[in-house]
A and B are shown apart, each in its own frame.
Chain A
Amino acid sequence: MVPGIVAFTGKFFPHSFTLLRNVADIMDFFEPDYFIELLFSGLTKGAIYALIALGYTMVYGIIGLINFAHGEIYMIGAFTALIVSTVLSIYGFPLLAIFILAAVAAVVWASAYGYTIERLAYRPLRNAPRLSPLISAIGMSIFLQNYVLLAQTSDFQPFPALVPDFAFMEPVAHIVGSTDLVILVVSVIVMILLTVMIKFTRTGKAMRATAQDKKMALLVGINVDNVISITFITGSALAAIGGLLIASHVGQINFYIGFIAGIKAFTAAVLGGIGSIPGAVLGSFILGLTESFATGYVSSDYEDVFAFSLLVLILIFRPAGLLGKSTIEKV
Chain B
Amino acid sequence: MLPLKDIRNGLMVAGWFVFLTFPLMVIKVNPVEKTIVWRWPNMLYVAAGSFIAYLYVKLAQKNKKAAILVACWTAYLALPLIRYFMYQDISILIWDTTTSIYAAVGAFHMILTLCLFHKHHILRKILSGIWLLFIGTPVVMLLAQAAGKILLPKIPAALHFLTPFIITIEHIQFWNWIRILWVALACYLLYSSLQTYLASKRNIMPDHLTNEPKIRWSQYLYKRPVYLPLLTFCSTFFLLFPHLFSTYQVNIMISALMYVVLGLGLNIVVGVAGLLDLGYVAFYAVGAYSYALLNMHFDLGFWVVLPIGGILGAFFGILLGIPVLRLRGDYLAIVTLGFGEIIRLVLENWNDFSQGPSGISNIDRPPLPGVDLSLEGSIVYMYYLTIVMVIFTIFVVNRLQDSRIGRAWFALREDEIACQAMGIDKMKTKLTAFALGATWAGMVGVLFAAKTTFVNPASFTFLESAIILCIVVLGGMGSIVGVIISALVLILMPEYLRAFSDYRMLVFGAVLVIMMVFKPRGLISSVRRTYTINDETL
Contact = CB atoms under 8 A, between A and B. Distances in A.
Asked if A and B bind, the verdict is yes
B19 interface: yes
Contacts of A270: 330-331, 334
B466 A138 contact: yes
Contacts of B512: 135-136, 138-140, 142-143
B23 A160 contact: no
B23 A109 contact: yes
B337 A263 contact: yes
Contacts of B334: 66, 266-267, 270, 311
B23 A80 contact: yes
B513 interface: yes
Contacts of A193: none
Interface in B318-367: 323-324, 326-331, 333-335, 337-339, 341-342, 345-346, 349, 357
A329 B328 CA distance: 11
A154 to B, nearest CB: 9
Interface stretch (A2-10, A42-50, A116-124, A165-173): A116-124
A219 interface: no
B517 to A, nearest CB: 5
Interface in A116-175: 116, 120-121, 124-125, 128-136, 138-153, 157-160
Contacts of B20: 109, 112-113, 116
B285 to A, nearest CB: 14
A86 B35 CA distance: 8
B134 to A, nearest CB: 35
Interface stretch (A22-30, A180-188, A228-236, A300-308): A300-308
Contacts of B328: 319-320
Chain B interface size, under 10 / 10 to 19 / 20 to 34 / 35 or more: 35 or more
Nearest to B472: A131
Contacts of A136: 512-513, 516-517
A89 B329 CA distance: 48
A83 B341 contact: no
Interface residues of A, number: 74
A280 interface: no
A244 interface: no
Determine the main DSSP class of B at the interface with A.
Answer: helix
A142 B516 contact: no
Contacts of A138: 466, 469-470, 512
Given A125-B517, A135-B474, A142-B505, A66 B330 contact: yes
A128 B518 CA distance: 10
Determine the main DSSP class of A at the interface with B.
Answer: helix
B338 A308 contact: yes
Interface string B21-60: 1011101111110111000001000000000000000000
A147 B31 contact: no
Contacts of A241: none
A180 B517 CA distance: 42
Interface of A: 15, 60, 64, 66, 76, 79-80, 82-84, 86-87, 89-90, 105, 109, 112-113, 116, 120-121, 124-125, 128-136, 138-153, 157-160, 259, 263, 266-267, 270, 274, 301-302, 304-305, 307-309, 311-312, 315-316, 319-321, 329, 331
8 contacts: A86-B29, A87-B29, A124-B517, A302-B345, A308-B341, A312-B323, A312-B339, A320-B331
Interface of B: 16, 19-21, 23-25, 27-32, 34-36, 42, 270, 276, 323-324, 326-331, 333-335, 337-339, 341-342, 345-346, 349, 357, 417, 462-463, 466, 469-470, 473-474, 477, 502-503, 505-506, 508-513, 516-517, 520-521
